[in-house]
Structures are given as structure tokens and as C-alpha cells.
């Protein structure tokens, strides 16, 4: 079984990353704001009915911190795992 989350409109301001996210099978987007140095969630608004997707956010934060190490922040990112 595989899972995915899309990050869209990724923006960096100082040490804070802000983006929209779309969990698999959702047509609605949520909003995520993360402190880049420590991966702390500053704000997370899930799409209605997708509050159970906390694991998706954890995977997204791991990828965000990896992107920060590489200095690469694309505007969009698709994250998949098994």
C-alpha cells in the first residue's frame, strides 16, 4: 500500500516554510506552516474529513527538513511512501 501528499505554493520567509497540502484522495487543500530549523509545526489546518492524516504531515516535515539541508525549495513537491 502506498501513500502520498502534495505540497503546493511552497514559500520560505526567514526560517518559516508555508505551503498548502493535499492528502491523497482529497480535492481540498490544507495549510501547513513549519519552523525550518527544528521541524516544529506552527500551524496545520487539515481539509475537512482528513484530520486523520497526521502521518502524512510527519512525512512532509521530514522532506521539508531534507530540502532545507540541500537548499532546494521547489514551488511544489509530491511525496510518496510505502
pLDDT digits (tens, 9 = 90+) for 30-77: 999 999 999 999 999 999 999 999 999 999 999 999 999 999 989 999
> Do 77 and 4 touch, CB atoms closer than 8 A?
no
Mean pLDDT of 14-32: 96
What is the widest separation between alpha-carbon atoms in the chain?
A: 37
3-state helix, strand, coil in the chain (%, to 5): 20, 45, 35
Q: Is the pLDDT of residue 1 over 90?
A: no
Residues 6+ apart with CB under 8 A from 32: 7, 17, 18, 19, 20, 21, 41, 43, 44, 45, 57, 60
Amino acid at each position: 500500500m502506498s501513500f502520498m501528499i502534495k505540497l503546493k505554493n511552497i514559500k520560505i520567509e526567514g526560517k518559516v516554510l508555508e505551503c498548502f497540502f493535499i492528502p491523497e484522495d482529497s480535492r481540498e487543500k490544507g495549510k501547513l506552516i513549519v519552523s525550518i530549523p527544528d521541524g516544529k509545526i506552527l500551524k496545520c489546518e487539515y481539509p475537512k474529513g482528513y484530520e486523520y492524516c497526521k502521518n502524512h504531515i510527519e512525512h512532509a516535515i521530514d522532506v521539508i527538513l531534507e530540502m532545507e539541508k540541500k537548499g532546494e525549495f521547489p514551488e511544489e513537491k509530491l511525496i510518496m511512501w510505502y
